[in-house]
A and B are shown apart, each in its own frame.
Chain A
């Protein structure tokens, strides 16, 4: 169930940062507009924020996702997540 969620497309989904090594990022809310291997690109109140995946814990559409577990290219996520 959760595993399948990690294989879904993240673009267009709502996201909130729960934890991060950089405290100023915590609480950032917005929509995922792009994804690369190491980053989620989030649009929040008209501003574009690039957040590294492995430094944060995200809440995507109510599901809590550890950034370290999704550190793959978006098209690799289907295959590499075990």
Chain B
């Protein structure tokens, strides 16, 4: 039963993000953001992990749906991906150590 609930919740999260993406293209970011909030509520209530592909699609502080070049700034600084939400000013930093290590290994080979 619990597994069934989780399955439905995950399915709904996918559905909501698809709709959010559509709304973002229509320039209706308020609705897109509302869908992000609803998807997060589902994830929290049914203990479903937010799928990886969606983790960076919204601001961690104000849950605004982020569209690079429109309402967020994406830069590479000090070996991190730095995303700035232009709605609330939150700065999110994502390290990419794995890629750096791989590059180092490959550089050694050549």
Contact = CB atoms under 8 A, between A and B. Distances in A.
Contacts of A12: 15, 18-19, 22
B5 interface: yes
Interface stretch (A3-11, A18-26, A49-57, A60-68): A3-11
A7 B41 contact: no
B81 interface: no
Nearest to A79: B5
Nearest to A34: B34
Q: Which interface residue of A8, A12, A74, A75 has the most chain B CB atoms within 10 A?
A: A75
Interface in B1-49: 5, 8-9, 11-12, 15-16, 18-19, 22, 31, 34-35, 38, 41-42, 45-46
A78 interface: yes
B34 to A, nearest CB: 6
A61 B81 CA distance: 42
Q: Which interface residue of A11, A35, A74 has the most chain B CB atoms within 10 A?
A: A11
Given A34-B34, A78-B46, A11 B5 contact: no
Contact of B9 (A33, A35, A78): A78
23 contacts: A8-B8, A8-B11, A8-B12, A9-B15, A11-B16, A11-B38, A12-B18, A12-B19, A12-B22, A33-B31, A34-B31, A34-B34, A74-B41, A75-B38, A75-B41, A75-B42, A78-B5, A78-B8, A78-B12, A78-B42, A78-B46, A79-B5, A79-B45
Q: Across chains A and B, which 5 residue pairs bring their CB atoms closest together, nearest first?
A: A9-B12, A12-B19, A9-B15, A75-B41, A75-B42
Interface of B: 5, 8-9, 11-12, 15-16, 18-19, 22, 31, 34-35, 38, 41-42, 45-46
